[in-house]
Structures are given as C-alpha cells and as structure tokens.
C-alpha cells in the first residue's frame, strides 16, 4: 500500500523571501539573519575577570577554575609527562587523522610565508621590507560542548611556519581528566612539538596570556605564564569579549562569534548534501548559524524535508534544532543566481559552500567569505579537518574586511630605509618643500643640516 502523506519538513527554519526586493548593500545588511550577541552585557563580567587576573594572578585563576570548571589547581602548567602519556594512549585512528591534518596544513602554511622585498630607487637609495615573526603567541583552544584537537593544529601550524619561537596553548581544565585539558588536545600538541600548555579557559585564559602571571618568589619559574604578543583562537562570547578588551595590549586574530555556514545552491544541488552540511555546523552550538540561499523554491522544500529526516538521527539533535530554529538561520529565496551571489557577498559568511552549475566560476565571483567550498564534494567538514586550509575564520560578517588565520597573523613587516648622502641630496628639496607645506619646518631642517657645511 502506497502512502499519500506528504513528507515532514523542518518548519522551524525561517523563510526570508528576497525575490523582487532591493539588493543594495545597505538594504541587504539590514535584513540578513545574524546571531543575537550581547557584548555589552558580557563586557562588565569580563572586565572584572581581567582585573582579577592582573592583580591576583594564580589565585584568581585557581578560584575561577574551581567556580567554572569544578577543578582545584594552584598552577596551570600541564606536566610534560601528561602530554607524553596522552599521545601514547591516543586511538591510532585519531592519531592518523591528526597526522594527516598536520601534514596538509604544513604544506599550505609553508606556501604562505612571504619573502622580503627590496626596492632600489637610485644608487645609494634602498628601501626594504622584512618579515619578522612575533616573539611569542598564545593559542586558545576551546573546551565546552566539543573537543577541538583540530584547533590546536589550525593555531599552531601557521605560527610555527612563521618562525615564532615561543608558543603557549591555553585550553579549559576538565574535571573528568584530573583538571587537565582533554587528552586529545594534549596529544595534538605533543605531535606538533608544542611543549607549553596551560589548563585554563574562558576570559581568564585570555587575560593571563595577554598580561602574564608571575610565580611567587621561591617558586619554580617554569610555572609562570609569560605575556604573549598575539592571541589567536576561537571561543565563546566571553572569550571573544576578552579578546576585544585586550586588543591593543596584544594583537588578536579576530573577535570570533558562533560558527556559521551559508550555502548558495540552484536547482541542480543535492538537498541531502545541503541538509547534512547545515546540520554539521549547527551541532557546534545552539547559536550557530545555517543559511541556505537559493533561487529554487523546490530545492528549498526538499532541503527542509531532508533536514527533518536527518535531524531525527543525528547525535546532537536537540542542539541542532535550536540552532536551525534560531533567528540566525534561514532559507533565503532570491530571483536568480546573480541575486544569490549579491546576497552572499553582503552576508560574508565564515564558511560558504557553492552548490551550483559551474561552481568554480561562481566561487570566483565571491568577494567576501572566510573560506569558499566549491562543488558538492567540498563540504565544510573537509576544511575543519583535512583540506589543508585553516578553520579559524572570521564570523558575523567580518569576512567583509578580515581574513582567516594564516602565517601573516604571526608576522610583522619592518621597513628598512637606507640612503647615503648622494641619494638623500636627490630628494632633499622635495622633503623640505613638503615639510614647510605641512608647517613642520623642523622636519626640513633635519635634512638641510646634513648639507649646510657642503
């Protein structure tokens, strides 16, 4: 007997119909779905945590670890033997996966290292730009709802490729593992040769990395946390707020918000693939965003049906349903592919998948995205682990002006100006004229004095 009942659809995912609507940048930016994040509310609590860490040091870190993580600690440094043991006990299949991820990430990172550049304007006039790694970096690896050894790789590999000499990883202490970070995180660090890991999470970890935490007189100096120059890595609202508040004291990669995926698809796309990819990002966090942009109402309906089917069997079904039903997730209907590209360039997704005919051509027209995944066999999950790309990417529309984590995050450009007397004389008159035009005559005098006794 054949049933005539219609398939169930995922009705909680909101519709946003932009067919016939204005698609200018300002209009789109005003209506596109975004997570509701209250940095102002978090800022007061985070400022208090930062102040405590700066003034109380390890006493504050210990108190906060007990309060938020349920663990007792006097210092945060993970013993070397714990890291060795974590790698020895690691599931061989997980180790193989981590090793492959590391190998591919290293190849891509090595290709990103920029070369120095030198310009010779005339005999005796040279300007050089040198790339120099920062002294020390702090790499934040989240805990919470999931375990992220992949984030160890994504943070550490480009820093190592840049030539950073001192790396410190911070990851929340786990009660079930004796107050240490998750052993898979320790194992990943061991594989990479990163020796310094601190069991600390949240805003307090960001504060400790930014300002440092000394040990008391007579204690082992190796237990101290030396301040870093750059802090990178994703985290929750409190981590992102802390990074915002210490920016300027240290460099940061981004103020990352909840993860997000946007998918641009036409009628040729496979709805099962799209549903699976939306679910894969929604399982990160109830605030995660999943957005489908399409000119095909039929595809949108098929995706809703696939979502309902797949949500019933996925492990984190409840979390996924909350994320897909939130204000940050939607099906966006547009008139045509051209309109879809415009929507995606304004949305500036952390992850953007292209499921269309001529996907590579369409991908070439994307001007704002953290990472673009081309075609039906390049899911975001691939980029999360083994594509070779980096998964620490700009969120909340910041891909309009920001980049994903890369080697340049850990480098600074130093300009070197080397003119001899003859070369300076060629431009001396111009320097003096411009200095006087800006009413800064001493600037010109600093050049003229070099020729007064000629």
Which one is catalytic: 196, 350, 355, 391? 350
Q: How far apart are the first and last CA of the chain?
A: 106
CA dihedral 82, 84, 88, 92 (to 10 degrees): 100
Catalytic residue status for 75: no
* CA–CA distance, 161 with 152 (Å, rounded to integer): 14
Active-site annotation holder among 351, 353, 355, 391: 351
Looking up tokens 């998750």 gives: 182
Mark whether 350 is an active-site residue. yes
Q: What angle do CA 67, 69, 70 make, to 5 degrees?
A: 70
CA 122 to chain centre: 43
Task: Compute the chain's Rg from CA coordinates.
Answer: 26
Of 356, 397, 412, residue with least CA distance to 230: 412
Distance CA 63, CA 58 (A): 8
Active-site positions read 350-351
């Amino acid at each position: 007997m054949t049933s005539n009942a219609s398939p169930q659809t995922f009705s909680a995912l909101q519709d946003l119909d932009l067919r016939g609507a204005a698609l200018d940048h300002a209009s789109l930016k005003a209506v596109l779905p975004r997570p509701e994040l209250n940095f102002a509310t978090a800022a007061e609590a985070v400022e208090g945590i930062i102040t405590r860490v700066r003034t109380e040091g390890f006493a504050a870190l210990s108190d906060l670890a007990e309060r938020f993580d349920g663990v007792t600690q006097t210092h945060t440094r993970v013993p070397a033997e714990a890291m060795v043991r974590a790698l020895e006990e690691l599931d061989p299949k997980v180790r193989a996966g981590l090793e492959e991820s590391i190998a591919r990430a290293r190849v891509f990172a090595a290709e990103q290292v920029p070369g120095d550049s030198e310009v010779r304007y005339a005999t005796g006039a040279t300007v050089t730009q040198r790339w120099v790694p920062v002294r020390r970096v702090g790499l934040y690896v989240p805990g919470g709802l999931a375990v992220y050894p992949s984030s160890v790789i994504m943070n550490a590999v480009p820093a190592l490729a840049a030539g950073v000499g001192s790396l410190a990883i911070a990851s929340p202490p786990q009660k079930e593992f004796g107050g240490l970070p998750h052993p898979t995180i320790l194992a990943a660090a061991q594989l990479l040769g990163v020796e310094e890991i601190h069991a600390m999470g949240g805003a307090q970890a960001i504060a400790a990395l930014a300002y440092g935490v000394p040990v008391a007189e007579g204690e082992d100096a190796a237990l101290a946390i030396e301040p870093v120059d750059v802090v990178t890595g994703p985290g929750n609202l409190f981590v992102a707020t802390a990074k915002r508040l210490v920016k300027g004291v240290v460099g940061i990669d981004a103020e990352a918000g909840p993860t997000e995926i946007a998918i641009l698809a036409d009628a040729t796309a496979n709805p099962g693939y799209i549903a699976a990819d939306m679910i894969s990002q929604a399982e990160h966090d109830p605030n995660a965003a999943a957005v489908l942009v399409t000119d095909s109402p039929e595809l949108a309906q098929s995706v809703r049906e696939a979502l309902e089917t797949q949500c019933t069997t996925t492990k984190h079904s409840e979390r996924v349903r909350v994320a897909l039903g939130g204000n940050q997730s939607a099906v966006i209907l547009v008139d045509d592919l051209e309109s879809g590209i415009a929507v995606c360039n304004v949305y500036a997704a952390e992850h953007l998948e292209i499921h269309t005919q001529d996907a590579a051509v369409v991908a070439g027209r994307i001007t704002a995205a953290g990472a673009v995944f081309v075609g039906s066999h390049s899911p975001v999950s691939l980029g999360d682990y083994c594509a070779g790309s980096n998964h620490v990417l700009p969120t909340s529309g910041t891909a309009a002006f920001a980049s994903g984590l890369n080697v340049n995050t850990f480098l600074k450009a130093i300009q070197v100006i080397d003119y001899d007397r003859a070369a300076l004389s060629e431009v001396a008159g111009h320097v003096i004229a411009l200095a006087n035009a800006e009413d800064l005559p001493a600037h010109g005098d600093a050049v003229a004095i070099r020729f007064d006794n000629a």
